[in-house]
Amino acid sequence: MTNENYEVRPTSELLNLETAIGTKSTFQDKETHAHIYELQNGQFILLPAVGNKGLLINERNTLDHILSTRIPLEDKHRKPQIEKQQLIVSLPNSAQDAIREINKVLNTNIDLQNPDFDFDDLNQKLKKFGFEKAYYELSVELGILLCEFLRKKEDGLEYKLEKRYGYNPYYEAVLIDKNGAKIIPWYYLNRYLLEKKKFNFIEIQEKTERFRL
């Protein structure tokens, strides 16, 4: 992949280039955690926080623009939490949007105000929908549903956003209890969908509730 102002190259190739040309200065970008090498010829190498590829950038203006917007690299593996960042960073206000999306896609009628709601219907419809497909299309919403269920069950649970670093930074949501312990809502949920290939909401909820950091 090329652009008139930058090229995407393998990390190994960029490091060989850095050795061959020589470095004038280096720094780490605070926002993205990318490492930047200013070369003796006026070009720049950008190596992101993760991955095996980076950018060879021709001029400072392009580097500044990339760092102020987004690094033009994509992970080959889809990450639902990156794709649905707006839903995550808008919590708790977006929680009802997440539940409405589950109801719409799976034709369920989830209502956390109903104490007699039967999660077996959700379990069966997810099985029919497909667990891997549910991971890519609904895992963020299902995790938010799990959070809201726990928040209704236990007083004092609050959302907290934690920054993660990929090619570009993104946020994951966790719950913090009254004692400051952390609940990670997607830890078991994603493993059930991708590894166990089954789904039992109450079983996942109970495991998630017990596992605190």
132 with 175, same domain: the answer is: yes
Last residue of a domain, one of 25, 47, 68: 68
8: closest CA among 209, 133, 167?
167
Q: Which two tokens stand for residue 146?
A: 């799990």
Amino acid 76: pLDDT: 76
In a domain, 34, yes or no: yes
Count the Cβ atoms, other than its own, within 10 Å of residue 150. Answer: 17
102 and 63 part of one domain: no
Last residue of a domain, one of 27, 47, 68: 68
Count the domains in the chain: 2
Q: What is the pLDDT of residue 93?
A: 96
Say if residue 32 is in the same domain as residue 121: no
- Could you tell me what percentage of the chain is helix, strand and coil, using 3-state DSSP and rounding each to the nearest 5? 45, 20, 35
List the Cα angle 91/212/188 in 5-degree steps: 70
Sign of the dihedral defined by the CA atoms of residues 145, 146, 148, 153, in that order: positive
What is the chain's alpha carbon radius of gyration, rounded to the nearest angstrom? 22
- The set of residues, in sequence order, having a beta carbon less than 8 Å from that of 46 and lying 6+ positions away, is 34, 35, 36, 54, 55, 57, 63, 66, 71
Same domain flag for 125 and 41: no
| Whole-number Å distance between alpha carbons of 127 and 197 | 9
Position 179 scores a pLDDT of: 95
Using the structure block, give the residue that is written with the tokens 């719409």. 104
- Domain enclosing residue 131, as ranges: 80-210
* Tens place of pLDDT per residue across the chain (213 aa): 457 799 999 999 999 999 999 999 999 999 999 999 999 999 999 999 999 999 999 999 999 999 999 999 987 778 999 999 999 999 999 999 999 999 999 999 998 888 677 899 999 999 999 999 999 999 999 999 999 999 999 999 999 999 999 999 999 999 999 999 999 999 999 999 999 999 999 999 999 999 999
User: What's the pLDDT score for residue 115?
Assistant: 67
pLDDT of 2: 54
Can you give the pLDDT at residue 74? Answer: 85
